[in-house]
Amino acid sequence: MIIPKPRSLTPATGTHRLDATTTVAGPAELVAPLRRLLGPGTGLALERSEAATLRVVHDPGLPAEHHVVEITPEQVTLTCADPAAAVWATQTLRQLLPPEALSAGATRTEWELPCLRVEDGPRFGWRGVMIDVVRHFMPLRDLYALVEQLSLHKYNVLHLHLTDDQGWRFECRAHPRLHTVGGTRPESMVGPDGPVDGTPHGGWYTQDQLRSLVAFAAERGITVVPEIEFPGHVEAALTAYPELAVPGHAVDRVRSAPGISDYVISTDDASLAFVLDVFTEVLDVFPSTFVHVGGDEAPRTRWLASPDSAALAEQRGLPDAGHLQRWFTEQLRDWLAERGRRLVGWDEICDEGPLAGAVAMAWRGPEKGVAAARAGLDVVMAPVTATYFDYYPSELPEERRCIFGLTTTAEAYAFDPLADLDADSAARVLGTQCQLWTEYVPDLRRAEYLLWPRACAHAEVAWSDPAGRSFEEFGQRLAGHVARLDALGINHRPETGPLPHQQGGTGVWRRGPSAPPAEEPLALAEPGV
């Protein structure tokens, strides 16, 4: 019935009727999510009244995000730990109504809820989806739509990947060429060997647009975690400001091709000051405690070949220029900590040993997260083996081209973020997140196809206790849940295979390889992170 599966659901006899006479009562900060989320699709005014039959109760004794939904013929009571819990309780109510109650406009004025009691709360505090808005820019209105979809599934983190080799999407007022120059590439390449489309592609978000997104998401229980990528994946930044590059290694255009670039920033004092200027503005826009700095796939090639970098390493007392990234990331960690924030980085930040105080986002495999947790770091589990939804969703030849790989809905559902961890280490796993890199995802419709229903499965992994869950039982609930996706107009993928208009066809989007080139190890072949 409900996705993700609640901790406890006890059916009862009868139904509760919602109609024009239904009123609400409760603390304003808890009633607001109910009215915001339930009103549009049902058409109910939900005016406040002390005699209300729809009541929201604050219980500070409940753990964070926990809630109880109790429906009797006479009354609906939502007991909530906090405003986020009120969002999740409301999302449960919406899923208990007919699918059309999820639409943007009301189709009728009377509704019935089944009588029951739901006691619920999340398994993990970090339940995230990463969206790459660099490889293909996603208009702001589409991000609003995505936030609505994530909130329905009780995700609470939107990880926004804002900068990379192929573009810069964050308005930087101190260094505006980052977005005015680095925000547009001359063309895009479909696949590592072409073809190219010959069409400029770009866009960026103003700081005020992003503040609006942050507020919109917060009203729906979601924190937006920004990612500004350094010291690698920086060709867009180097195009805008060549002086950031390792001396003698400037670039003259924003990168069009996917893959890993060996261009990096120099990490000298001037480039560090520049990066801190950028992050100063990022912190002003995003209140999130967690700030992602990337840190992955930064080849040491240009540092190790540079006499200037060798001298810089010696000046800093480092063994060689290959250790400049670690030094640089430590500076970012300390700078963020002084401002009450925490650095998050892809698991390469631990390649020279655990980076104390940082959060490791384990992407190259769950074993990277296991090692970091055992070493005392907080961890977000996001491995390519189960959470990369830019991978093919099936082996069917009709699938539209993806980057490579395979992650089925069943494989996403089978993932256990705490596998191979003892109790102490498991306590350091903040949660899990799925990734959608967009080299092959030009628009929201394609993003929806790749996310849903795999993200339905991952949302349940992130929220629900594994005890008593099974993919077979999940599939029964999913069969009913797709009607909700349809009511929302989401271009989801049928589990039986893509519809004709979702297929790759015989053109440039026809299905490509299912594995990376043999000469590239999987851990380095994913151009997304």
pLDDT tens across 36-49, in order? Answer: 999 999 999 999 99
pLDDT in tens, 269-328: 999 999 999 999 999 999 999 999 999 999 999 999 999 999 999 999 999 999 999 999
User: Above 90 in pLDDT, residue 25?
Assistant: yes
The residue type of 266 is: S
Query: How far is 65 from 62, CA to CA, in rounded Å?
Result: 8
Q: Give pLDDT, residue 190.
A: 84
- The pLDDT tens digits for 230-246 are 999 999 999 999 999 99
CA separation for the pair 484, 95 (Å, rounded): 8
| CA–CA gap between residue 129 and residue 211 (Å, rounded) | 19
| pLDDT in the model for residue 525 | 36
H or E stretch covering 237: helix 235-240
> pLDDT tens across 335-356, in order?
999 999 999 999 999 999 999 9
- For residue range 147-178, list pLDDT tens digits in order: 999 999 999 999 999 999 999 999 999 999 99
Residue 161, φ and ψ in degrees, nearest 5 = -85, 100
**From the CB of residue 36, how many other CB atoms can be counted at a distance below 10 Å?**
15
State pLDDT tens for residues 484-506.
999 999 999 999 999 999 999 99
**Using a CB cutoff of 8 Å and minimum separation of 24, what contacts does 329-333 make?**
329/293, 329/295, 329/355, 329/358, 330/355, 331/272, 332/230, 332/275, 332/279, 332/293, 333/357, 333/358
Helices (H) and strands (E) in the chain, counts: 18, 18
Query: What is the token pair recorded at 382?
Result: 């996001």
Mean pLDDT within 222-227? 98
Lowest mean pLDDT, pick from 63-72, 113-122, 184-193, 464-473? 184-193
| pLDDT interval class at 518 (50, 70, 90) | low
* Contact assessment for residue 362 and residue 433, using Cβ atoms and an 8 Å cutoff: no
| pLDDT for the residue numbered 514 | 87
pLDDT at residue 529, rounded to an integer: 35
Residue with tokens 């993806």: 402
Q: 195 vs 150, which has greater pLDDT?
A: 150
Average pLDDT over the chain reads 95
End-to-end CA, the chain: 35
Return the top range by mean pLDDT from 186-200, 247-261, 458-472.
458-472
pLDDT grade for 515, boundaries at 50, 70 and 90: confident
Give me 136's structure tokens. 């293909």
Task: Inform me whether the pLDDT recorded for 528 exceeds 90.
Answer: no
Does pLDDT of 99 surpass 70?
yes
What local confidence, expressed as pLDDT, does residue 437 receive?
98
Please give the pLDDT value at position 68: 98
Question: Judging by DSSP bridges, how do beta strands 67-71 and 24-25 pair with one another?
Answer: unpaired
Q: Provide CB contacts within 8 A for 259, sequence distance 6+.
A: 192, 527
pLDDT band at 517 (very low <50, low <70, confident <90, very high): low
**Catalytic sites, residue numbers:** 164, 233, 297
